[in-house]
Amino acid sequence: MNSAKVWTIAEAGGRRLKTVSYELPARGRALAEKLGTRLASVVIGDNIDHNDLKELIHRGADEVYVADHPELGDFIVENHSNVLLDLIKFYSPEIIIAGATTAGRTLMPHVAVRLQTGLTADCTELNIEEGTGNLLQTRPAIGGNILATIKTPHHRPQMATVRPKSTKPLSRDESRKGKIQKVDFKPEWIDGRVKKTGFRKIEDTGAGIQEADVVIAGGRGLKKAENFALLRELAKVFGGVIGVSRDVVDRGWVPYPHQVGLSGKTVTPKLYLAAGISGAIQHLAGMKTAEVVVAVNTDPDASIFKVADFGIVGDLFTVIPALTERFKKGGGKK
């Protein structure tokens, strides 16, 4: 069967596809071209917007496999795993890539175990090994101090997750042609042992930190939770959001969804201002691709200054209020 051998897993939120769905084909396209094969995106959900399906083709996919049914609208890993396993057995892809999101980090291990194949999480780089066609999966290891390259030479498919916002979508090309193929629903996909009984929204989720153009981040240099009011005021001026280092979350000052770094989220804002953050390698891995980085720290040798475009050596309790006042007068969003 002349089907696509490289797959990306699109992710739905209601009827719409999430941004990561369009980032992944940028990774998949490069791999497919090196292997001389086609690229497919897999969509599992309920009543997904048809324009979003076409957008996957505009962003690099050659084929889109769609399992669309009311029973698949909620992300229940057993059900989605059954769908993906069925598709894999029918089409025999070589490589499958998903986002390192809550859903991706749940679905991919579930499927990998059932197939008895390998899975590498949180990859920063993906490539094809010359001569073998093996997927080279590079990810930080030992607390981010080294980069390990992993491969799965004896089992297929080769599976990996990559962090959202670690890749920009390919430029939109409306001239690209592709096939959207609906997959017939099978009642046996529904496990039945697990049902969604309700949904409880976590307060102050940090929602939007990965989409924000401005992130104002603080570390343990803020000294206590109450002092983050200084950063929130500056963030408000810019229409931005708060980000934090792992130390801050560990101390219980700000909830985990705001955490930036290897064990948190990867962000690529236009402006990343880091106040009271020394710049541990784990934190830098989550923000160093920001367009402009501004650092405020009392230590002139702090690692954060190595990735900063602008550095201010000074007391954040003096500098941040001064910046807030200055930008209030000048218009922060400008």
Q: What is the CATH number of the domain that holds 89?
A: 3.40.50.620
Taking the CA atoms of residue 57, residue 50, residue 9 and residue 6 in that order, the dihedral angle to the nearest 10 degrees is -30
Per-residue DSSP letter, 262: T
Same domain? 161 vs 289: no
Q: Do residues 232 and 141 share a domain? A: no
Strand order in the sheet with 135-141: 125-128, 135-141, 146-150
Is 205 part of any domain?
no
In a domain, 197, yes or no: no
* pTM check: above 0.75: no
Domain shared by 230 and 185, yes or no:
no
Q: How many domains does the chain have?
A: 2
Quote the radius of gyration of the chain (alpha carbons, Å). 22
Please indicate, yes or no, if residue 131 is contained in any of the structural domains: yes
Q: Are residues 183 and 222 in the same domain?
A: no
| Measured CA distances, 300 to 58, 75, 288, 304, 325 (Å) | 47, 47, 19, 9, 24
Instruction: Look up the CATH number of the domain holding residue 295.
Output: 3.40.50.1220
Tens place of pLDDT per residue across the chain (334 aa): 567 899 999 999 889 999 999 999 999 999 999 999 999 999 999 999 999 999 999 999 999 999 999 999 999 999 999 999 999 999 999 999 999 888 999 999 999 999 999 999 989 899 999 989 899 999 877 666 678 899 999 999 999 999 887 788 999 999 999 999 999 999 999 998 988 888 776 555 555 788 788 999 999 999 999 999 999 999 999 989 999 999 999 999 999 889 998 878 888 889 999 999 999 988 998 888 888 999 999 999 999 999 999 999 999 999 999 999 999 877 655 5
For residue 146, the enclosing domain spans 6-189
Pair (62, 181) in one structural domain: yes
Q: Are 11 and 139 in the same domain?
A: yes
